Amino acid sequence: MRDRSGAHDEMHVDGGVTVPFFLFPDVAFISDEKFRDLEGARLYVIVNGQLDPIQRSSRANTIAITLRASNVALTRMTRTELLLASSFAQRQGLTLRFTNIPGNYPFSGPFDFETAPMRKLFDYATQCAQSGRLWLSSQDALERIGRASTVQPETQPCPAQ
């Protein structure tokens, strides 16, 4: 789209609005076809968010409620997509590994772009990866989703702990 001065101007929406992560076209998930070329492949999914049901209250204003509703919808969509990917991987003989931000990690949400919390999260993930405790199997991940956490943030375990 061009504005009156002739300058090119357009806006794009992140693909996460339609699907939280892309592995294969949707038709592959519902197909009975065996994709022999994929057998034995390894898939890794990193979700930059928390998938545990987290009880939070929202301030009584339109923006806070809209942000919370968006976050809940995206979380649910990611959980559903993980379930589809896990089922597909199992049928096709693939290995699916997954990680996300644990529910008891002090994460202020996907709309926080402040440098200090992002650096702290990056350092935490690096520590978990270096100790071999970052990746969950899809089965482990699905079992943990929904389980209430009792760990205090100061002793935050890695996802695969």
What ranges do the domains of the chain cover?
Answer: 20-26+35-155
Q: What six digits make up the tokens of 40?
A: 């034995």
Pairwise CA distance, residues 51 & 56, whole Å: 14
Give the tens place of pLDDT for each residue, 41-94: 999 999 888 887 667 777 889 988 888 888 888 888 888 888 888 888 888 999
Mean pLDDT of the chain: 80
pLDDT of residue 72: 83
How confident is residue 120, by pLDDT bands cut at 50, 70 and 90? Answer: very high
Give the tens place of pLDDT for each residue, 144-153: 655 544 444 4
**Secondary structure E strands in the chain:** 42-46, 95-99, 136-137
